[in-house]
Structure 1
Amino acid sequence: MVPAGEIRAAGAVVLRPRQVLLVHRARYDDWSFPKGKLDRGEHRTAAAVREVEEETGVRIRLGVPLTRQRYLVGDRPKTVDYWVARPTGPDGVEGYVPNAEIDRVAWVDREEAPGLLSYDRDRSVLEEALSPARRKRTDALVVVRHAAARARRTWRADDRVRPLLASGRLDAARMVPTLQAFGVADILTSPSTRCVETVAPLAAALDLVPRRKPVLAEEDATPRAVRSLVRAEVDALSGTGRVALLCSHRPVLPVVFDALGLDDPRLDPGDIMVVHLRKGRVVAAERHAAHPGSEPAV
């Protein structure tokens, strides 16, 4: 859980060839990365994307996460989550209109940026973002455990059609901005109702038709078939910079993670694991809850 009184913020180190996007805050006369406080009930990934667009006019897609920053603002602790990010469309800032908060926005040469940044903590973030392990583009496979469903013990019909609870449907809707931040472009799901209902709000928001894969259902999954599917998807993603989402069930997910070379993180209902890949190999993984009421490990 988030400690009482803690300030939560999120932002991004936005890169384009040889340059990084910085903002100047008039009130503090400082140069930093675009970032800002989370709105009430907002997930940190959604906040990072929103803040970058609000402060610079540039729309982004999040890539790999960076080390969480913690420091004091007066006597209050502040936590800032950053990701490496890239523009998803036009990235020019020449038409930016200054305001009372951000009076300058600039693409700065990477070699010049450390000297322009006002804080040591930001220089540390930049150094990490520009390291070979972080700055190179990645693909991603987002693994989701379906949201909270009706209890098995109270369900008398075929388990394949067991639906989500009302709370599960709410969590499925809350996932949408969290997942949009990563630029999901393809959805694979178990055909069981509870998985189909979990991905339905995202599919509607992105105008995507989920691909129903029986091998991801509890009743039809075999370790060999699941591993084959996961590796085929990883191979298909490799080098494309695209992001796919896979939704399945608790008994199936350990095999999914094993195929990715990861230990089973034991996702709770509605939890999300974003697995960042380069050339088919995992370079980072981050876990998110379907809603921001809890703070899973990163």
Structure 2
Amino acid sequence: MPAPAAKAVRAAGVVVFRPGRRVLLVHRPKYDDWSFPKGKLDPGEHATTAAVREVAEETGLHVRLCLPLHDQAYRVLAGHKTVHYWTGRVVGDDDVSRYRANDEIDAVRWVDLDEAADLLTYDHDSATLAEALGRRRRTHALVVLRHGRARSRSAWRRDDTERPLLRAGELQAERLVPVLAAYGVTQLVSSTSLRCRQTLAPFAGMTGWDLVTRRRLSEEGASPAGVRRVVTDTLALVAEGRSTVVCTHRPVLPEVFAALGLEDPGLDPGEMLVAHLRKGRVAGTERHLVR
């Protein structure tokens, strides 16, 4: 009888920094090890959402994701484990002195970076810390999002600006909520067209952040100069520390990326490119498709 196939285990975590050259570590009494806060993805959960959730559950701190790091990959008893990592920053209070120890995590500490290298138990964590040190400077996100799956243009007989999302697109919009929240998005900028507004409506409704529309981001109102103006205004928001999402259409996206100095990656419906900005410059990017 053939041996059962090795199980693929996915997890996510965050290397959380704070000023003063400190990094957040946790101690697990079951394994007597020091590591970064991390944990397995729930069924159907996006890795970004799991990373933020696990930090909250294991440390009591709310964080936002910054630059992505290389995945960790190693063998475990259950099979093959992949851990997705980001650098991150605390949103709000970063005091861990009131943390209550439990059977899973019995200590949470802000550790000096020089001490952390010696305290970490595993070589793969030491390698992740070494990578993260070069990416620890604070960044804020500009999320460029293509609207969710919409009704077919050929089957829609009315004003195209009022063409709505399909049910699949509505589900994408709902699943975007925790992903955008993971990057600390507080500014929402959308094309005036319904399908873009619908894509961001669940996030606006859940968070209470205003949804601002710009005709310059619509297919009907876009021009290279107009899109550049919107992008310039958006970059100013991000420079003030306000992570922002911009939702628009496939024909407009090349102008958005050109204004950012990036190549158009050809996003699918419901897919986003996250540009991490520091001092007005793109320090790194990543892509996520929410199905």
When the two structures are superposed, what TM-score results if normalisation uses the length of structure 1? Answer: 0.93
CA distance in 2, matches of 1:206, 1:128: 33
2:9 aligned partner: 7
1:275 aligned partner: 275
Q: Paired residue for 2:130, among 105, 127, 135?
A: 127
1:90 aligned partner: 93
Q: Paired residue for 1:39, among 37, 42, 50?
A: 42
Structure 2, unmatched stretches of 5+, are: none
CA distance in 2, matches of 1:277, 1:254: 19
The superposition leaves residues 128-147 of structure 1 with CA deviations (integer Å, 9 ceiling, x where unpaired) of 1111xx11111221011000
For the 8 Å contact 2:237–2:243, the answer to whether it is kept is no
Q: Give the superposition deviation at 1:237.
A: 2.1
1:174 aligned partner: 175
SS in structure 2 at match of 1:202: helix
Query: 1:86-125 residue pairs with structure 2 within 5 A?
Result: 86-125=89-128
Q: Which aligned runs of 4 or more in structure 1 are off by greater than 6 angstroms? A: none
SS in structure 1 at match of 2:118: helix
1:280 maps to amino acid: G
Query: 1:1-298 residue pairs with structure 2 within 5 A?
Result: 5-17=7-19, 18-74=21-77, 76-131=79-134, 134-238=135-239, 240-291=240-291
Q: Give the superposition deviation at 1:101.
A: 1.2
* 50-59 or 227-236, which deviates more: 227-236
CA distance in 1, matches of 2:186, 2:197: 16
Q: Give the superposition deviation at 1:206.
A: 1.3
CA distance in 2, matches of 1:58, 1:160: 42
Q: Kindly, what percent of the aligned residue pairs are identical?
A: 55
Q: Give the superposition deviation at 1:75.
A: 6.2
When the two structures are superposed, what TM-score results if normalisation uses the length of structure 2? Answer: 0.95
Q: Give the superposition deviation at 1:274.
A: 0.7
Q: Give the superposition deviation at 1:214.
A: 0.2
The superposition leaves residues 189-232 of structure 1 with CA deviations (integer Å, 9 ceiling, x where unpaired) of 00100000000001111102211100000011011211222123
Q: Give the superposition deviation at 1:6.
A: 1.1
* Alpha carbons of structure 1 residues 150 and 4: separation in structure 2 relative to 1, 3 Å: farther
For the 8 Å contact 1:275–1:282, the answer to whether it is kept is yes
Q: Give the superposition deviation at 1:4.
A: 7.8
1:276 maps to amino acid: H
1:198 maps to amino acid: T
CA distance in 1, matches of 2:140, 2:51: 19
CA distance in 1, matches of 2:237, 2:59: 33
CA distance in 2, matches of 1:78, 1:126: 19
* Alpha carbons of structure 1 residues 4 and 213: separation in structure 2 relative to 1, 3 Å: farther
For the 8 Å contact 2:63–2:89, the answer to whether it is kept is yes
For the 8 Å contact 2:7–2:78, the answer to whether it is kept is no
The superposition leaves residues 71-117 of structure 1 with CA deviations (integer Å, 9 ceiling, x where unpaired) of 11136111111111111112111221111111111111111000000
Measured on the aligned residues, the alpha-carbon RMSD in Å equals 1.3
* 144-153 or 282-291, which deviates more: 282-291
1:194 maps to amino acid: R
Structure 1, unmatched stretches of 5+, are: 292-298
1:243 maps to amino acid: S
Q: Give the superposition deviation at 1:241.
A: 2.6
SS in structure 2 at match of 1:62: strand
For the 8 Å contact 1:137–1:241, the answer to whether it is kept is no
CA distance in 2, matches of 1:282, 1:155: 38
The superposition leaves residues 126-182 of structure 1 with CA deviations (integer Å, 9 ceiling, x where unpaired) of 111111xx1111122101100000001110001000000011001100000011001
* 60-69 or 194-203, which deviates more: 60-69
